Amino acid sequence: MEHLLIAALIALALSSLASSKEKYLIETPDCSSCIWQWNNKAYFQFSRTVSPWYHPSGRLNRYDICNLHNSQEPNNWLRSYVIEVGDIETLDVTFRYLSRRCDPPVGFCKEYFYAYVWESNTSVADQQIPHPINAFQLYRPFANITRQSDQEKNLTVPLQVTSKYIVLGIRDQGGCRILYSVKVFYKVCGAETLEDSLVTLPSISTQVESTPVQGNCTANSVQSVPGNLTVVCDKDGEWNASRLESSCVCKEGFENMAGECKACSVGTYNDGKGFDCTVTPSEPRNASVYFLNDSSAVLTWLPPKITGTATNVSYDVHCLRSCEYFGSDCEDQTCNSGIDGQFTSKGLNTTIFTATKLSSFVNYTCKITAKNRVSKLADAATQTTDSKETFTYVNLRTKGSVPGTPEDITVTYLSETNSVTLSWFLKCKNGIIQEYGIEYFNMDDSSASKNLSTKDSEIQISGLPAGKTFKFQVYAVNNFGTGSPGVKEFLIPKGNVEKNLPLTFIAAASGGGAFVLIIVAVICFAFVVRGRRRSAQSIQKDYMRSLERGLDNNLSMDQRRYINPAEYLDLMELLQTFTTEVDRSKTKLNGLIGQGEFADVYKGSIQTQKGKLVVAVKVLRPGSSEKNQKDFLSEASIMGQFNHPNVIRLVGVVTQSCPMMILTEFLESGSLDHFLKTRKGKLTTIQLLGIARDVACGMVYLSGMNFIHRDLAARNILVGENLSCKVSDFGLSRELADDNPDSEYETQGGKIPVRWTAPEALQSRKFSSASDVWSYGVLFWEIMSFADRPYWEWNNYDVINRVESGYRLPSPMNCPKPVHNLMLNCWESDKTKRPTFADIVDNIDKLLRSPEDLNDGLSSVTEKFEVEPQQEFQSVDEWLQYINMDKYSEVFSAANINSMDKVTGLGDKELREMGIRLIGHRNKMNKSIKAMKGNSFQ
């Protein structure tokens, strides 16, 4: 490769050599107005008949001569003074002249004349110069200057000399001519720097033969490869680089600028390989996980936007467990932590990397660094491993597998209780551990095995007979299955052992008591500033700063482990799986933007590698209950599993100190209901359909993950740029309650107004994707009505009764009929007949592609807003059938409610005592009873 580079540089050198330079010994006359004074005295014969060389009148800068009608052949000379040539051997003499045509030929007329030279190794006085006529033999002719045209001409002839001094003589032997000037010079190969090869050459005069000259490297450059730096000075005065075998390149930190090695500018570097200074590459783009399983991952990325000049980009990939990368302690060692070589690759020339032999269900962070020829120099100059602009991170979680085998199984005998404590350590969890199974049996009778389970890594077993050897097998169960058992044998010591003790187990961590959570969040603002009370804004600002710092009594990891959902042993482990812990010190709160039941929402920012990112920060209030904290963290663990442009994105969490925080992307326009109210009538139908489509797309994604939202309403949709909408609020785990018949239905995580909830969900407490579709239909109605309240001011009883009776919301003003029909499809009583969210997206797309279908006018569906008059009922069964509650006929009969008079005397308490437990059904009966009494249905 380097030899090819040298060949290329030599070729460039050949094309860039400078032209020959001329050094003049004499140039006479020196100028157009100068006097030319050579010797012409006594240098002619036959003075009476011929005319010598002379200056014409007023023209002292030239010599003329004209002899045409001579009886004898002329012999006229013009001689120069002594010219010093030194060691120069090859000269050039240029004559500028004009010769007349001999037409017709007369006498001794000639159309040419001669130039002669006399040489001497010593300088002589003018009078010592040999006379050209008397000592003609001492002069050597070197040029025959012949007429070429009727115009003045320049003739350059070579002159080889062997002495240090010369004298020129011009001899005329007849004819007419003018001599304008004579120049004597020699050619030199001038001092040059071959710009591309950085070879400097001295100035040298040409010789008879071509002369090899040894060049040198310019300042701050070195020879690139072995070989001579010989360049030939040709006799014509030109450098010939055909013999150049090597070249020079600038040293590290310098670059070739017009043949000079100059220092690289700030932020650029050079590796001394003959290229220009360049920058390091920018970070690889669009890095992502292309393939992932429980033990390997394939990463792909795009080349960096900036690669640097004259350089190839390679990549270093280094994968570590995320906790190792960012300086926090890993709680345990991964299964394959001793394996080296599979997680790292240097000098990759492709944009794909496969990491193998990874541990199952472990968070890894892979650092992908772009490198070029100057990266090492840049790292050395900045004293860093990698410049922050040259790398990117990819975070991944390997897929889970069945757990590994429990290790370090220890059996400890407790004589006081005649029991053993069995403990173990599980290195390879490979998922979220749900429980541990323990099987044990007497070695004398393996068929009589017993099985226990625990959620801790320790268990106490009592009632084992003394003197018997037991085999204990411990296996772990996670969400991917059951792992291989670890085995331990133990001989129960003999002694005073109480007989027939019951077989029990006690989880070591339980301790017989309840968890105690102490959160101290006392914030006192008691500052007196020069007698003036501080403003509420100032107090709020100080409070936000205290939240950024965190409370003093932070919870330890062990204290936080009480948050223990039924599905998992450790909610914190679930959080580590799906969320990123954020450094509290990098989080800043800017202002309160919302408040919830147990959390406040702030607009804030977080400092990332790419700069400041604006976020929404949900802060758990100090003093929140254990359940509130569990719900708070559950919401974060749910949100962290989602990745879709129409679903709110989790940025990170703060769980290592109090107060806990959830950080999400910030959408400037806020909730959809507020957004619509402030823009009533200002959005087109197409824009409203686009909003509805975004929500439906988000729900396609969520329902595809078997996630049921349960609180789909305009207030839980956030609006971003260009009317883009994202589904939010994933914190509610709902369970219908029956202790508040007058207001709302409660769920475990919060309250849901019944006007958004599907009838079957209210009655059976079972939510599904179909119930989300019903809620979406109501949300769609909110969109088209610019956030009007569904069912207006009706109370919840009215809503329940009317919906169960078949009532549906009418078309909003100016809502196209096809759009309202789609809402009605979402409100089908039979949930199996409702469209899926994918169907809804398809329907909206069809409307957007064919906007002419939206011009069919308003929906023709009309509904009465008033309740029809209550009819007279002849029997209890007739009444129950009318309100679709005939399944309670036997209940009423058993309670001896056999007349309508008795029915109208019933209240909610009596209905509950009769065994009617569903609040929705009781509400329906209560409302009908009130109507029969003549009360307003509303």
711 counts as catalytic: yes
Q: Which of 380, 200, 219, 197 is nearest to 274 (CA)?
A: 197
Looking at 407-555, which runs of residues are DSSP E strands?
A: 407-414, 419-425, 433-442, 445-454, 458-462, 469-478, 481-482, 486-491, 505-507
Catalytic pick from 196, 386, 600, 711?
Answer: 711
Burial of 583 by CB count in 10 Å (0-12 exposed, 13-18 middle, 19+ buried)?
Answer: middle
Give dist(CA 344, CA 352) in Å, integer: 13
Tracing tokens 């102490």 back to the chain, one arrives at 518
Helix (H, G, I), strand (E, B) or coil at 670: coil
Give dist(CA 785, CA 792) in Å, integer: 12
Tell me how far apart the terminal alpha carbons of the chain are, to the nearest angstrom.
91
> Residue 727: beta bridge partners?
647, 717
Asked whether residue 618 is marked as a ligand-binding residue, the answer is yes
Looking at 508-598, which runs of residues are DSSP E strands?
A: 587-595
Give dist(CA 854, CA 816) in Å, integer: 5
Query: 296 is written with which tokens?
Result: 């390997």
DSSP notation for 24-91 = EEEEESSSTTSPP--B-TT--S-TTT----BPPTT-TT-EEEEE-S-SS---EEEE---EE-TT--EE
Query: 48 is written with which tokens?
Result: 């009476």
Give dist(CA 17, CA 217) in Å, integer: 16
Give dist(CA 909, CA 738) in Å, integer: 12
> Residue 369: beta bridge partners?
316, 391
Give dist(CA 773, CA 816) in Å, integer: 20
Give dist(CA 107, CA 307) in Å, integer: 85
**How distant, in Å, are the alpha carbons of 103, 791, 831, 895 from that of 758?**
127, 14, 9, 31
Instruction: Give φ, ψ of 487 to 5 degrees.
Output: -120, 140
Q: Diameter of the chain by CA atoms?
A: 175
Task: Please state whether 463 falls in left (phi above 0), alpha (psi between -120 and 50) or beta.
Answer: left
Please report, as a single letter, which amino acid is at residue 334: T
Give dist(CA 407, CA 476) in Å, integer: 11
Please report, as a single letter, which amino acid is at residue 744: E
Give dist(CA 727, CA 697) in Å, integer: 9
> Residue 297: beta bridge partners?
292, 355
Q: What angle do CA 787, 670, 542 make, to 5 degrees?
A: 135
Residues at the binding site for ATP are 618
Catalytic residue numbers? 711
Annotated binding site: 618
